[in-house]
Amino acid sequence: MNNRIKLHDKVFKPLIPMERIEQSIDEVAAKINADYEGTDTVPVLLCVLNGSILFTAELMKRLDFDVDLMSIKLSSYQGTSSTGAVHMDMGLTGDITGKEVIIVEDIVDTGRTIEALVKILYARKAAKVKVCTLLLKPEMYNKSIPLDYVAMDIPNEFIVGFGLDYDGLGRNYKDIYVLDTETQI
Ligand code: IMP
Ligand code: MG
């Protein structure tokens, strides 16, 4: 994975190889499995579209208890920065009344999205909400919502790949790439 990639007007360079991503998903899945060992509840695994589609699939394969998969589509990013407003593009695909929900996010940056989502889920009468994210930018996160499961911390840089996009492109790459500020064209 030495190759740079070009998406729209920007160049990205490799940051996290697929093997490292998969290892971090193994680790986070093991933690979740340990917490839910012997549980008789069937938590909702909530995929936050579109970014966490690959992470949700990889995580779900590794869980050894029953889950009820649901989705919701939120957006807040335009280009390489957050607009500050969280928009619900598609509502919840199921009823979460009285259920425990594990949010599966691709990345937590400022935390605005996760904060808005947790609010929505409690308003829809979730019994309990937990957060699982593949990536966290710790320097940017300034909310008080506990992040129960974090697979990897990353620096405050714009990344793509493994589900994450730059204006719609880059989601299909197996590795994670970071904006290459030196090689722009
Ligand atoms: P937050 O609301 O600031 O925490 O941003 C979270 C959302 O913004 C994520 O669910 C992503 O969709 C998007 N996002 C944040 N950082 C990045 C990034 O580096 N690359 C691509 N999307 C990102
Ligand atoms: Mg997202």
Decide if 182 is inside a domain. no
In a domain, 47, yes or no: yes
The reply to whether 82 falls in a domain is yes
Q: Give the distance (Å) from ligand 1 centre to CA of residue 84.
A: 11
User: Within a domain: residue 99?
Assistant: yes
- In this structure, is residue 11 part of a structural domain? no
Q: Which residues are catalytic?
A: 109
Q: Could you give the angle at which helices 18-35 and 53-62 cross, rounded to 10 degrees? A: 50
End-to-end CA, the chain: 21
Q: Provide the mean pLDDT of the chain.
A: 95
Give the model's pLDDT for residue 144: 96
36-71 pLDDT, tens digit per residue, is 999 999 999 999 999 999 999 999 999 999 999 999
Residue 52: nearest ligand to its CA?
2
Name the residue range of residue 34's domain: 24-153
Pocket test for ligand 1, best of 106, 144, 159 (most atoms within 8 A of CB): 106
Question: CATH number of the domain that 110 lies in?
Answer: 3.40.50.2020
Return the structure tokens found at 180. 């290459």
Residue 69 within any structural domain of the chain: yes
**What's the number of domains the chain is made of?**
1
Q: How do residues 136-166 score in pLDDT, each as one tens digit?
A: 999 999 999 999 999 999 999 999 999 999 9
Residue nearest to atom 13 of ligand 1 (CA): 77
Q: Whose CA is nearest to atom 3 of ligand 1?
A: 110
Whether 183 maps to a domain, the answer reads: no
Mutation pick for ligand 1 pocket among 53, 82, 139 (CB with most ligand atoms within 8 Å) = 82
Q: pTM value? A: 0.95
* Residue 174 identity: K
For residue 131, being part of any structural domain is answered with yes
Nearest CA to ligand 1 atom 5: 109
